[in-house]
Structure 1
């Protein structure tokens, strides 16, 4: 028996072992100190028919310029479509790995650093993405005159080059001249939006700008309140030029991993993912550099129309000009019913134009745009794209008659599960988490500190057209720290569809089965949960502690319930507040309340 085992070992050891190919990019002319774009594009193209390939970058700074980059028209969800020049065009690959070796990939123009399309098995790891010049400008307030609402700013013209003509300031960003446009004021001490930042918003259209020399200029006739000295005005332009360059764009792919990747800047989102099956992020960081306060122009991460599992662990997202993560589907309008089970459909939001809504075999729901509730489920038989805005879709079956009023469709096949564990999202404009998916959601052991809501579970069929009434959400053992320092009723958890004046509740709740348990909330405003149109809501075992980090404000009831059913509120404790926190319920089936310390019913 021993001899047989020995022979088997010899046979196994002598048999060739298949290994993934490792390619040192330096052997193909991709080296620090020169424009790496063309050589890298050629190398990637040469590997098109190979699989199981790892591109290894010796540690260094690799520079990428747009002049010799591959260019292609690309529709990018929640961005501005157009011609995109790419640093890493990874199309139709199979099991490809980019191992940056802790290198910096530095971009010098309007480029999309990484594009992954039609790829099964991709890993991005061990590198950072930055731009030599940011897509926003940071202006330090050096004088502030509350009497006439004027203020003086100072900036570094090397980092944020600008010109002033006819009372207007324009910032030079890679061949385009951007006005002040969207803007907000940050606090350099906290590296967060300043408390009540909207009070200092600049009206770019009215602003009169006067050059003062020494890299300074005065802004007049533009604000209701002059921003305080030492704060930083961040300006980031206007549509359609303010969301052109996400750092990483992934579409129509599967089994993608992002490990130990840092994004320092982007003219859009850090990561935008569309119609992808399974993606995991481990140790991804979106943050700003030492000489900048703000990181990305928009969300750190955003996922639309995906399926499988989206997994985020050990990530840190901070200083963005929008949300930490947004997971959702898309409501698409029915423009016309052609008969014979065939519809003309229109992609609803202008920043979703070009979206791939579905494919034959996908299960979809037909729904009323008035009540935002589904009334029939069917299957796609065929889809024909007419243009970026419209497509013709035929389905397997329909009810005998369609209801009156405007209709929409949503894709039920392409909704993912979401797992978020041990992440930090903080010091950003807007929310920490937006999630509207019918998949199973687990948000556990994270730290959230955002200017607006902590977790927003919304869904709307009128503004952003982000679909996905939730079915199973667990939010537990997280820390919510000073959520809502924008003021105006921002909650650690807000769960409610967004309805217009023309829309109304239908029969039955929109969201279902939300568990908000065991969380710690450090709060200056006493707000906890706001829920509307939810069936199955558990608010239990949460600890609320009074915080003195911001001025004390009374923004109403701590828990607000409207048109909810099957609600349990028990074992929550509030301490340090001047008076008991209140619970207000309207049009809600008798909520169960038990053993809540520091809370009372209104």
Structure 2
């Protein structure tokens, strides 16, 4: 394999080096070639390294040739859904420092369900100028051609593939995957909304003389839709992610085009100083596709220091474009200076949620108020859900005061957050879901036709177990266009009111625009369980209201 290493300049490092990825052979699987280049880059010491792809080239990468490693990822799958948590990494960066991967406009085209990029235990890594797409996106699409009360005629959007067996049962297919049934969304009229799947009640499927896919139902059972609308369908197993950033620091993704994110989004977990700049999560407009993501676009779990998301575009998700949170673990045993804790939501488990030196707090899962604190000295894994923490002092008294019904919040894993100059649209859920105690600024963003709260500040310890309270949030100079009511929702999930959960929230100088107002006056801001809430300078083009319950 020919690799070019060029000396660029001298500076803080001995040399700066460039290593080229060879031009792809048409139709060939380039996974192994890219792996070797990254291994060579990782072997370079005391030097900054830039790995460059050939400008505009398309590199096929496959699940079958990927680096297969067991990695547990927050908010993905239960044991029952996915007994094997192995991820299949196309680009695998492990233990690297001071590395830039410059795609120069190249495309990684995935084949099979896989994780396109993995960044694990790395420091000062940048991925830039790279496109991510799928040869077989695991969210097939079909456009409605016509409908009767017993038939639905559709045109399948390439590259979606399917087969129909002798009984007329349809299976959506890709490289190494197949499903029938599942979850559906309907795109049209400027919205993407969850809906009943057209695969729920059909009797059989067939093709007509024009190559259209025709679904046959009992009389009156064809789903309600209109010509031109697009069904997006998927199974529910988040067995891979688009990009996984794990236990790394100073990681930047910039000028990236994620044309499809399967089967979850960009996940930063237990990492610090994360920057996403000009990351576009959008379907390729030339492809005819309307969906860019299997679930969330950006999930930030248990991170610290600072998370910056700026100048990004989000359209075509199947869940929240941005979700930033920590994780409450339930106390199952406490003796002296040791506490045994457990991941409670089935889709999150298997990774250490703490680092030595982290400050933790005993939290009442019903009031969500933090109590006594301690620092973690060591962590021992007992199972994929249970961990034993050795602390610098006992929390036994505080836990017993709650009758043993307590959770632990990792105070140290609450990053500062900056979300600025982004655009959000065509999602079935919220725009931003956020729970962090770090200083947060959400400013100069545009939200278009978001069907739930555009911004939700939550906190819970009995459902998703996503922590924690906010204490310094500024929401300013954003534009909300035809978004659902309430547009901004502050709603901690406490069922016992012993005092406010959130504090220090300022909502100022935002524009709320309703081009097609409904019959009821929209609620711009709804809040409860919050103190020191300041609202001023906001504008709306129609009469609107607030719903504040402190």
**TM-score, normalising length: structure 2:** 0.89
Aligned position for 1:543 = none
Over 3 Å counting, the alpha-carbon distance change for 1:86 and 1:569 in structure 2 is closer
Q: CA deviation at 1:33?
A: 4.7
> Which of the residues 127, 130, 133 maps onto 1:127?
130
| Alpha-carbon displacement from aligned partner over 1:383-430 (angstroms, at most 9, x marks no partner) | 110221111112222263522152100100111001122111222221
Question: In the alignment, does 2:112 pair up with 1:106?
Answer: no
Query: Structure 1 residues 58, 212: CA separation in 2 closer, same or farther (over 3 Å shift)?
Result: closer
Query: Of the candidates 113, 120, 130, which is equivalent to residue 117 of structure 1?
Result: 120
Tell which deviates more after alignment, 117-126 or 560-569: 560-569
| Aligned-partner SS, 2:291 | coil
SS of residue in 1 equivalent to 2:100 = strand
- Provide the C-alpha distance between the structure 1 equivalents of 2:510 and 2:385, rounded to a whole number of angstroms: 43
- Aligned residue number for residue 60 of structure 2: 63
Per-residue deviation, 1:307 = 0.6
* SS in structure 2 at match of 1:115: strand
Residue in 2 aligned with 1:466?
466
Q: Which residue of structure 1 lines up, in the alignment, with residue 203 of structure 2?
A: 208
SS at match of 2:397: coil
Unaligned 5+ segments in structure 2 are 1-8, 78-83
- Of the three residues 228, 252, 255, the one matched with 1:260 is 255
Give, in whole Å, the separation in 2 of the partners of 1:504 and 1:428: 32
Question: Which residue of 2 is the match for residue 368 of structure 1?
Answer: 364
Aligned pairs for 1:28-427 within 5 A: 33-51=27-45, 52-59=48-55, 60-80=57-77, 82-145=85-148, 148=149, 151-156=152-157, 159-164=160-165, 166=167, 168-187=169-188, 190=190, 192-193=191-192, 197=193, 200-202=195-197, 204-213=199-208, 214-220=211-217, 226-238=224-236, 240=237, 243-289=238-284, 290-291=286-287, 292-337=289-334, 339-397=335-393, 398=395, 400=397, 402-403=400-401, 404-427=403-426
Distance 2:522 2:445 in 1: 27
Q: Distance in 2 between matches of 1:250 and 1:223?
A: 45
CA distance in 2, matches of 1:306, 1:79: 17
Pair 1:512-2:475 in alignment: no
Aligned counterparts of 1:14 and 1:228: Cα–Cα separation in 2: 62
Q: Deviations over 1:492-524 (max 9, x none)?
A: 21011124xxx322x21011111110011112x
Alpha-carbon distance between aligned partners in 1 of 2:325 and 2:267, rounded to the nearest angstrom: 12
CA contact (8 A) 2:487 2:523 kept: no
**Which protein has the larger Cα radius of gyration, Structure 1 or Structure 2?**
1
Cα drift, residue 144 of structure 1:
2.5
**Quick check: 364-373 or 221-230, which moved more?**
221-230
In 2, Cα distance between equivalents of 1:17 and 1:334: 47
**Shift in Å, 1:112:** 1.0
Deviation track 1:21-60 (CA, whole Å, cap 9, x = no partner) reads 111122xx76665221112212322343324211111211
Question: Against the structure 1 CA distance between its residues 302 and 561, is the aligned structure 2 distance closer, same or farther, given a 3 Å change threshold?
Answer: closer
Once the two structures are superposed, what CA deviation does each residue of 1:279-304 show, in whole Å capped at 9, x if it has no partner? 11111111001221110111221111
Shift of 1:359: 2.1
User: Contact 1:157–1:215 (CA<8 Å) still a contact in 2?
Assistant: no
Cα separation, 2, equivalents of 1:572 and 1:125: 37
Alignment CA distance shift 1:207-1:464 (3 Å) = farther
Secondary structure at the aligned position of 2:453 is classed as coil
User: RMSD across aligned C-alpha pairs, in angstroms?
Assistant: 2.6
Task: List gaps (5 residues or longer) in structure 1.
Answer: 1-12, 485-489, 524-546, 589-602
The separation in 2 between residues aligned to 1:519 and 1:133, in whole angstroms, is 41
Q: Deviations over 1:161-196 (max 9, x none)?
A: 232564643211322321231111101x63x31xxx
- Name the SS of the counterpart of 1:245 in structure 2: coil
Q: In 2, Cα distance between the equivalents of 1:42 and 1:331?
A: 40
Q: Distance in 2 between matches of 1:122 and 1:515?
A: 34
**How many positions carry a matched residue from both structures?**
524
Paired residues of 1:141 and 1:229 also in contact (CA < 8 A) = yes
Q: Which has the higher contact order (CA 8 A, sep 6+)?
A: 2
* Residues 1:349 and 1:15: Cα distance change in structure 2 (over 3 Å): closer
